[in-house]
């Protein structure tokens, strides 16, 4: 079946550091790929998505590029801020899944001021 | 814009108890979902509904029932709470069912079983 793997369970950085959170997927065809962010006490919020090979999604300084060759959708940000501390989820959606999203395990990002 | 409201925010139950969680959305979305969130395991789908009175099982449906009597509401029942169980239950909705659609989430119901 389809799956999403996030390599890092936790990431700790200082402000202005460069961020990469790795996301790899396994699925048939061209699924849509998503990033969600979850702050403490809240539900996950949609960050952005991409649907085609080489398409870049971006929002709030975060970006990721759909790469079908490496089956990846890594999240990057050039300069993180303390307010970026949250849990980040990569997810996959496919037309044959009736709208269901399959989520990765999540990556907890902690930023030291 | 719209909002998804989950009630209650916190739920404390006893082992073996039947517990009901409620979700309301005003997006006018067709499809609604219940996910369970456990630390280190991501979000796992319990039930979803593509329209009023429709129910579809997810990967984690055993031990749960669901009900979609109106387009705007979707309830989840824990049929027999397990001792020491702790999890967050998240309700979500989306505009249609053909896949690749953005889901919008509520803030969650946090369950603790004594």
pLDDT grade for A70, boundaries at 50, 70 and 90: very high
- How many CB contacts within 8 angstroms connect chain A with chain B? 75
Residue B97 has pLDDT above 60, yes or no: no
pLDDT of residue B98: 59
Burial (CB count <10 Å: 0-12, 13-18, 19+), residue A101: buried
Q: How far is B32 from chain A (nearest CA, A)?
A: 10
User: Which chain B residues are within 8 Å of A51, Cβ to Cβ?
Assistant: 100
Q: What is the largest CA-CA distance in chain A?
A: 44
Transcribe B35-88 into DSSP letters.
EEEETTTEEEEEEEESSTT--EE-TT-TTEEEEEEETTEEEEEESSPPTT-EEE
Average pLDDT in chain B: 92
Residue from the list B44, B101, B106 with its beta carbon closest to the beta carbon of A43? B106
Contact B102 A97 (CB under 8 A): no
Average pLDDT estimate for A1-16: 95
């Amino acid at each position: 079946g389809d799956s999403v793997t996030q390599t890092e369970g936790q990431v700790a950085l200082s402000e202005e550091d460069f961020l990469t959170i790795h996301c790899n997927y396994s699925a048939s065809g061209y699924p849509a790929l998503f990033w969600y962010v979850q702050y403490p006490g809240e539900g996950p919020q949609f960050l952005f998505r991409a649907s085609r090979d080489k398409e870049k999604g971006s929002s709030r300084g975060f970006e990721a590029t759909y790469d079908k060759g490496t089956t990846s959708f890594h999240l990057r940000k050039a300069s993180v801020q303390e307010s970026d501390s949250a849990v980040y989820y990569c997810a996959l959606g496919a037309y044959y899944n009736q709208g269901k999203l399959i989520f990765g395990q999540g990556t907890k990002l902690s930023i030291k001021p | 814009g719209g909002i998804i409201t989950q009630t209650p925010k916190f739920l404390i139950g006893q082992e073996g108890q039947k517990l009901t969680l409620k979700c309301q959305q005003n997006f006018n979305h067709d499809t609604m979902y219940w996910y369970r969130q456990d630390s280190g395991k991501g979000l796992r789908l319990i039930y979803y509904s593509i329209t009023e009175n429709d129910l579809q099982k997810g990967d984690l449906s055993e031990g749960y029932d669901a009900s979609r009597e109106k387009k705007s509401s979707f309830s989840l029942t824990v049929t027999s709470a397990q001792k020491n169980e702790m999890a967050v239950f998240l309700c979500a909705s989306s505009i249609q069912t053909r896949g690749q659609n953005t889901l919008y989430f509520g803030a969650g119901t946090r369950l603790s079983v004594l």
